Amino acid sequence: MSEVDTTGEPVQGAAGGGAAARQTRPLLEVDDVVMRFGGVTALDHVSFAVNEGEILGLIGPNGAGKTTCFNVMTGVFRPTTGQVRLNGRPLVSRSRHQITRLGIARTFQNIRLFPEMTALENVLVGTDARHRTSVPGALLRLPRHRREERAGRAKAHELLDFMGIGSTANQLARNLPYGDQRRLEIARALATEPALLCLDEPAAGFNPAEKEELLELIRRIRDRGQTVLLIEHDMRLVMGVTDRIVVLEFGRKIADAVPAEVRSDPKVVAAYLGVPDDAA
Amino acid sequence: MNFHFLFSNIGDLTVTGLSQGAIYALIALGYTLVYGLLKLINFAHSEVFMMGTFGALIAWNLTGLHENDPTPSLPMMVVYLLVGLVGAMVWSGVTALTVEFVAYRPLRRRNAPRLVFLITAIGASVAISEAVGVITSRNQYGMPDLFKTTNLATIGNVHITNVDLGVVVAAVVMMVVLDQFINRTRLGRGIRAVAQDPDTAALMGINKNRVIVLTFALGGVMAGAAALLYNLKIGVTRADIGFLLGIKAFTAAVLGGIGNLRGALLGGLALGLVENYGSALFGTSWRDVVAFVVLVVILMFRPTGLLGESLGKARA
Amino acid sequence: MTSTGPGGGKARQGNPVMSALRTADNRRLAGLSAMRSRWRAIPRPVRILFGVAVAVFFYLLPNLAIPLIPTPDTNFASVLFTVAVYVLVGVGLNVVIGLAGLLDLGYIGFFAVGAYSVAIFGSPASPLATKYPWLMLIPIAIALSMVSGVILGGPTLRLRGDYLAIVTLGFGEIVRLIAVNWSITKGQIGIPSVPAPPGHWGNGDPIFGIIDTRPFYWLALTVVLICMFGVKLLESSRVGRSWLAIREDEDAAELMGVPAFKFKLWAFAIGAGLGGLSGALFASRQGFINSNSFDVLTSMLFVAAVVLGGSGNLAGVTLGAVLISYLPERFRGFADKRFLVFGLALIVIMIFRPQGLIPSRRRAVELEDRKREAAEEATANV
């Protein structure tokens, strides 16, 4: 069975180290990636790096290729050419669950929870990414199964509490209010113990107060040791939280700088002027 | 493996293969049309075909032609052929539409998942076949002889009978007519539009449900034609013939590229040939195994079939 | 890589807006889950005691003179045996359909592999007869069925769902046709003297004989209970969670680290093994098998057993299997029409109550009405 075990290795970046201990070592490198669908070029020689411990914003108008970029990184699409590396290890042509185990987790632009499972179970599926129990272990209730179940449950509850939805543990995911579903998705992604957490428009559909709360949460996630890659449509939101911003337009990278610089970059301004900002 | 038998009879095997394949192809159209439109494997289509064989028989009996009657004169034969064709097409068409109205439409209204459609289709298939089985006490029914099977031509040691030739020609003509209908007429354009992009088609004022009804009717009519040809070629029918022919026709559709009309013809003929060559090689008792192995292998290694999937052409 | 369809109604996202449309089902489910939590509130020893009492009741069933239930035309214990075999089939097929969400139309193929394994290696009339005792033949039957499941599943589990259904159907037919044509299985002539389980009463009569079929029923019931327990253990573990996650949204599951192919293959293999085990029990009880017992209609009947009662939960599947196997025996006039009736029942259930008679709280959304937020992924992703 095609499963590469990566659980033995320490997950870099997941172990402590707050904002103060920020390094500049690249955690993820997107290296000259081209993605074509038929005649459409969704990503055109895109390269950028995510440094360990930072919050990187990936922005751009609709259809700029942000989600495609996520999909290439997480193994949903195989790039036409180019490579993606995590901690120097190539990811292209690895299967999706292997990439997750190597340390990338994501959320989805349109929520994709397991609707008929409880919130707790959703998060448990995430923790299972680090577990190894299979059919024999579960049937015989081997010690590892029990250990993993216990640890998984504790961790899942902890993450639900961290996201502020601890009281929903036993509700079906589909019955949760919209905002809680978004939070649950983040909890589920965190449960896989990612080095890099990719959030795809996590604030979509939030009101300003909720957005503010979410920003605070993203900072706290970074302070737990996760590097965060944030896709966002809403420029103002990204400005407040990111350390650095990469801007895509029509599949090409047009800027890669700190927020203040990006804001005054004429190319970025031009890109955004043409498109109404309707992220909210 | 009997290579000698295969090669010494390759001509005759080809002729029978093509005429059997032509029938598969006509049934395959029904699968392909509905799949191209709705992405649904209309499992009950096999019974649409089966009903057609009974439809022709009922039409003949009503007009006074029975199993062991003497063969009619030439003009009467033509009349009876038309009567049988109409009977088969009407029965098949009505069955196809009944399935659509009773089973699929309520599901579509609710936007049920694919699995539910498939299970419903299986239920419909079993129910129709068994209903006929119970009514007919699971007996086999013989067909009246409209004409004597005669050998039209012998080329080398290849024998071409009037039935084989007629079946292939009739099937090809039906396919060409259908192809032209889909590609040239306004109704056909509607079908292609919905197959390509249902939402845009709806915005353009195309009534999706009408297109679907039309598609089921077309598939049913083609299955009716296949049923008439089957009656002429095989000469008997039973309530349970649908399953085997249905799954072979589905195999033909997938082989040619499901959703692709010309693929259905190509797939049908190819399957007929492969099956006949295969049964010559391994023995006739393995004939059906050959068909199923083709199905499994195609789905595993080239699920888009020989010509690719396209009812709307734009669909790659 | 993915087995989901390209665009067709497979949108699996939960949508909060939709909850309004689910009120009726929600109420029903709420009632059920209230019952469930009340049941959980009962102290554990009492629950165990209740379970034991139910089990004892089923063991004693052939000895109890309950009016109306026994079958007038057939030996009641042997009917109960058939019912138990169907329940076992349901438990196995439920792993494939109900938990992992894979539609397997050729389940009869695994049933046949199990049955023929016992016959071919156990019957003295078979050219491949071995001297292995019955207790060895059963694991062999299970192993061979599992292997055939893996051989079939390996290349096919990457196919989209409806194609998988057709391939499995083709597999079921291939197994039947081999049984019909192979010189060892002898088609309709079949294989006689299939061995029964060993053991004798004090007076020298075999325990698993033809006259008194109750021991067969007790054996099958025991096997069913053990297998149900095993499936329960799997359900409440990483394995079961992975199956559900795959069923609900395979792409999302993979992206959360679930090795989907591996667990789908496990589901297939376990389902096949249980199917083989039920076939082996069936063959041992019959003492004779031929190719007539393994037709496609029976395979459809198996699917009906899982779907009618409520796939995804053992109570529903048990109910479905009991209905399908018991009713034709209880009402003999019905036997000839049973495929017709169950075929119609499939349509009616799918239209009006797709979660089955006893819905699993988990199963509901999978089969429930959803607005198609379709295309969205496709379009949003580019």
User: For residue range A113-136, what is the model confidence (pLDDT) as tens digits?
Assistant: 998 889 999 999 999 999 988 998
Q: Where residue B193 falls among pLDDT bands split at 50, 70, 90?
A: confident
Which structural domain range is residue A154 located in? 115-191
Q: Which of B47, B114, B138 to mutate to test the interface with C (most CBs of C within 10 A)?
A: B114
- Domain membership flag for residue A1: no
Residue B57's pLDDT is what? 93
Which residues in chain C have their CB less than 8 angstroms from residue B196's CB? none
- Domain membership flag for residue A5: no
Burial class (CB in 10 A: 0-12, 13-18, 19+), B243: buried
Touching chains, A (3+ CB pairs < 8 A): C
* Contact: C166, B120; criterion CB under 8 Å: no
Q: Where residue B288 falls among pLDDT bands split at 50, 70, 90?
A: confident
Residue B305's pLDDT is what? 75
Which are the contacts of C148, defined by CB distance < 8 A and separation ≥ 6? C109, C110, C113, C175, C272
CB C143 within 8 Å of CB C266? no
Q: At what angle are helices C76-94 and C296-309 packed, to 10 degrees?
A: 80
Same structural domain for residues A44 and A153? no
Q: Give how far C323 is from chain A: nearest CA, Å.
A: 27
Residue A50's pLDDT is what? 93
Question: What is the domain partition of chain B in residue ranges?
Answer: 3-149+158-301
Same structural domain for residues A208 and A259? yes
Same structural domain for residues A78 and A139? no
Which residues in chain C have their CB less than 8 angstroms from residue B243's CB? 296
Q: Can you tell me the mean pLDDT for B87-95? A: 95
Query: Who among A71, A101, A112 is closest to C257 (CB)?
Result: A101
* Contact: C340, B299; criterion CB under 8 Å: no
Same structural domain for residues A156 and A221? no
Which are the contacts of C220, defined by CB distance < 8 A and separation ≥ 6? C81, C84, C85, C88, C281, C285
CA distance A101 to A195: 10
CB C270 within 8 Å of CB A135? yes
CATH number of B3-149+158-301: 1.10.3470
Touching chains, C (3+ CB pairs < 8 A): A, B
Domain count, chain A: 2
Q: Which of C99, C157, C173 to mutate to test the interface with B (most CBs of B within 10 A)?
A: C173
Q: Give how far C253 is from chain A: nearest CA, Å.
A: 8
Query: Domain boundary residue among A145, A174, A191?
Result: A191
CA distance A132 to A145: 8
pLDDT tens by residue, A19-55: 444 456 889 999 999 998 877 889 999 999 999 989 9
Using CA atoms, how far residue B256 sits from A43, B41, B268, C139, C167, in Å, is 34, 15, 8, 42, 16
Using CA atoms, how far residue A228 sits from A189, B109, B153, in Å, is 12, 42, 78
Which residues in chain C have their CB less than 8 angstroms from residue B102's CB? 347
- Domain membership flag for residue A11: no
CA distance C25 to A117: 16
pLDDT tens by residue, C137-160: 999 999 999 999 999 888 888 877
Interface of C with B in 82-101 (CB under 8 A): 101
Same structural domain for residues A143 and A248? no
User: Tokens representing B75?
Assistant: 């003009």
Question: What is the domain partition of chain C in residue ranges?
Answer: 78-367
Q: Which one is predicted more confidently, A265 or C279?
A: C279
Q: Where are any strands of DSSP class E within A117-243?
A: 196-200, 227-232
Query: Who among B114, B120, B296 is closest to C5 (CB)?
Result: B114
Q: At what angle are helices C134-156 and B287-301 packed, to 10 degrees?
A: 50
Query: Who among C105, C173, C339 is closest to B292 (CB)?
Result: C173
Q: Can you tell me the mean pLDDT for B10-23? A: 88
Query: 10 Å Cβ neighbour count for A36?
Result: 14
Q: What are the phi and psi torsion angles at A51 (to 5°)?
A: -85, 150
Query: Who among A40, A100, A110 is closest to C256 (CB)?
Result: A100
Query: Domain boundary residue among A191, A219, A235?
Result: A191
Q: Where residue A13 falls among pLDDT bands split at 50, 70, 90?
A: very low
Interface of C with B in 172-191 (CB under 8 A): 173-174, 177-178, 180-181
* Contact: C259, A3; criterion CB under 8 Å: yes
Q: Domain containing A87 — which CATH number?
A: 3.40.50.300
CB A246 within 8 Å of CB A58? yes
Q: Which one is predicted more confidently, C375 or C239?
A: C239
Residue B13's pLDDT is what? 86
* Contact: C245, A117; criterion CB under 8 Å: yes
**Number of CB pairs < 8 Å for A and C?**
151
pLDDT greater than 60 at residue C2: no
* Contact: B112, C9; criterion CB under 8 Å: yes
pLDDT greater than 50 at residue A14: no
pLDDT greater than 70 at residue C31: no
pLDDT greater than 70 at residue C278: yes
pLDDT tens by residue, A163-193: 999 888 888 898 899 999 999 999 999 999 9
pLDDT greater than 70 at residue A12: no
Nearest CA in chain C to B43: C166
Coil vs helix vs strand at A116: coil
CB C309 within 8 Å of CB C320? yes
Same structural domain for residues A150 and A272? no
Nearest CA in chain A to C17: A178
Residue B316's pLDDT is what? 27
Q: Where residue A273 falls among pLDDT bands split at 50, 70, 90?
A: low
Which residues in chain C have their CB less than 8 angstroms from residue B287's CB? none
Same structural domain for residues A152 and A258? no
Supply angle C-alpha B178, B182, B185, rounded to 5: 110
Residue C366's pLDDT is what? 40
- Domain membership flag for residue A13: no
Residue C225's pLDDT is what? 94
Nearest Cα residue to C163 out of B251, A95, B291, B107: B251
Which residues in chain B have their CB less than 8 angstroms from residue C156's CB? 296, 299-300
* Contact: C367, B112; criterion CB under 8 Å: yes
Same structural domain for residues A199 and A88? yes
